Structure 1
Amino acid sequence: MNDERRLAEILFTEGFVDRLASIERYWSRVGFPHGFDRLLDAIENNAIPLLQSFPAMGRRFVGALTEACESRLVNDVLPAITRIDGPAQGELREYVLDDHVLLYLLTGNTVHLLSIRYDRQPSFDFHLLNSPEAEYSTG
């Protein structure tokens, strides 16, 4: 990495932290807390350093969203979740990490981690991004 390049700032939203708590409850419930430890290790030692160095590395998130829906999500919903003042001038992206997908908003040189899901879950539940009710499921 170029020493003159500034590392991106990584911010964890409440929704992301709530999803991690849901994942931890799942692994405790199935009697394998090491599964959660492995996920945290992968986030800390793989995803975060890569996103700090290459914040745009995740693919643009388009999923089933139309451009208008993505625009509304980025400009109306995400500022409240990320505590950004005004419209979020950024890109909604997703990064695949082992068996999980991290959803994040890239604004300037800041990565806002929004949610995490098991890769076999059909989609992100946007209405639950900032809600502890979002339960983790592996299928």
Structure 2
Amino acid sequence: MQVVLGAAYERRLDEAVAHLIGVGADAAGQQLLDDAYDALPKRLAQAPRIGREFIAHNPEAPEVLAAWTAVRELLGDDIELREYILEEYLALYAIHRDCIHLLTLRHHRQCGFDFSEA
């Protein structure tokens, strides 16, 4: 299955790595880069449903509904929205037809997902 890294995913990843480097955690920044750009896409290509179903764990929460709505506007209704725990980060991705879209990334302490590209 093809894995596509979305612009918001790459942007959030760049911000997370810049933050880690800014606080002197260069090794953690490099590990996050390796995991998010290399290991995770390979893992998802082999086992697309390895992440937990996103909407099921708290379907009434405003943050969950907002993310669900944003992804449906982006890709349409025929999606399976999942999240993968990547150390201290959550990667939101969608399975849409024969493609996996890595949509965005956030630290586990952040509230909601940011889909903006800028």
Alignment of 1:106-125 (within 5 A): 106-119=95-108, 121-125=109-113
Return the match for 1:21 from 14, 19, 24: 14
Aligned counterpart, 2:34: 41
Q: TM-score of the superposition, structure 2-length normalised?
A: 0.79
Aligned partners of 1:75 and 1:96: how far apart in 2? Answer: 22
| Larger mean Cα displacement after TM superposition, 30-39 or 43-52 | 43-52
Aligned counterpart, 2:70: 73
Contact 1:55 1:109 in 2 (8 A): no
* Identity percentage of aligned residues: 23
- Unaligned 5+ residue runs, structure 1? 1-7, 80-86, 133-139
Aligned length: 113
Aligned partners of 2:68 and 2:23: how far apart in 1? Answer: 39
Greater C-alpha Rg: 1
Does the residue aligned with 1:10 lie in a helix, a strand or coil?
strand
Distance 1:44 1:74, change over 3 A: closer
The structural deviation recorded for 1:33 is 2.0
Aligned partners of 2:72 and 2:38: how far apart in 1? Answer: 31
Aligned partners of 2:25 and 2:37: how far apart in 1? Answer: 20
Q: Cα deviation per residue 1:86-109 (whole Å; 9 max; x = unaligned)?
A: x24111110112222110111022
Aligned counterpart, 1:130: 116
Aligned partners of 2:89 and 2:106: how far apart in 1? Answer: 6
Q: Cα deviation per residue 1:35-57 (whole Å; 9 max; x = unaligned)?
A: 11011222345322210011122
Contact 2:68 2:81 in 1 (8 A): no
CA RMSD of aligned residues (A): 2.3
1:31 aligns with 2:19: no
